[in-house]
Amino acid sequence: MPFHEGELAVQKQAGVEAAAQRVSGALKQGFEPASTEFLQPRPFAIASSIDPSGNLWASLITGPPGFLTVTSDQTLNVNPISTMDSQLIQNLHTNPTMGLLTLDLAARRRLRVNGYAQQVSEQGIQLQAQQVFFNCPKYIQTRYLVSAPSNRPPSTPAASTSNLSSDQQDWIAHTDTFFIATAHPEKGADISHRGGLPGVLQVVNANHLLFPDFKGNNMFQSFGNIAVNPQVGLLILDFEQGHTLQLTGKAELLWDDPRQQPFNGAQCLVSFTIEQVRMIRHACSLQWKFGEFSPVIPPQHSTPEFP
């Protein structure tokens, strides 16, 4: 079976079991020419990892084109790395399960690689792939790489808190793209992309977020993991300034919740309770210019309001 028990349960809840089986052929066990070619010029990726306490984290990795190199049908070298979240390295030393996502934002293409990290160091990682697959272009906003200012300040050490500041809440309220790390206890970690109009990631309060799920590929890898393991990590990237905001906590899938109504086209909602916040200023040396929103994003009926 290409799907585990959590994915099957969510597919049944959504009534898409047959549709999921039809697209399951996209799940490959190794690298093929198309995925190898796609990885070669990418200058960044998002990785998922699990810390010793079981918390999920989504981390940004960058490097010069060619730092993602396929060396066999099962092996991806992530090396050399010019930007690395030190927590990712620490996590992989204690738990090698890892998901990796890389995107071509200008072309609205994305590739996911799930597997286990080997030869982990500050210089690089060797990822042994168990699952490789392209996702559809839905909900990806077009952005174009531009030259970052030469006088951009260096990155700062991660600042950790237990809740969101008012500035961080405002940042989240205006974001249109974020990344979600999930994991299954036996099948390993995964990392996925989420996009929508600004406001898609709703701030309920300093420790609580809510976001909709719009119709995608029907496989429900992220939500299937959440159904089994509620630990989730989110990453929000400031595409202009290079700041990163990492959140870890617990998620719950909400079906037929009345708060779903303002999100036109939402299949369900995800309630996310924040347990830890990490912010790194100027973590990314890359800079993107916004192009346009994805044409398939459903318009919102209204902006949800919370007590």
pLDDT at 41: 97
Residue 220 domain-assigned? Answer: yes
Range of the domain at 72: 5-292
CA-based nearest residue to 196, from 109, 67, 295, 274: 295
User: What is the structure's pLDDT at 304?
Assistant: 46
Compute the distance between CA of residue 100 and CA of residue 67 in angstroms, rounded to an integer. Answer: 13
**CATH code of the domain containing 215:** 2.30.110.10
Whether 304 is in a domain gets the answer: no
- Average pLDDT on 226-239 reads 97
Asked whether the bond before 230 is cis by omega within 30 degrees of 0, the reply is: no
Question: With contact defined as beta carbons under 8 Å apart, do 253 and 226 qualify?
Answer: yes
Q: What is the pLDDT of residues 148-160, one digit of tens each?
A: 888 888 888 899 9
Residue 232 inside a domain? The answer is yes
Per-residue pLDDT, averaged over 102-130, amounts to: 95
Q: What is the reported pLDDT for 123?
A: 86
Query: Per-residue confidence at 172, pLDDT binned at 50, 70, 90?
Result: very high
Tell me whether residue 209 is in a domain: yes
pLDDT at 307 over 50: no
In the predicted model, what is the mean pLDDT of residues 55-83? 94
Query: Cα–Cα distance between 40 and 147 in angstroms, integer?
Result: 20
Helix (H, G, I), strand (E, B) or coil at 289: strand
Residue 295: both structure tokens together:
């044409």
Domain count for the chain: 1
Question: Backbone dihedral region of 23: left (phi > 0), alpha (psi from -120 to 50 degrees) or beta?
Answer: alpha
Quote the pLDDT of residue 149. 83
pTM of the model as a whole: 0.94
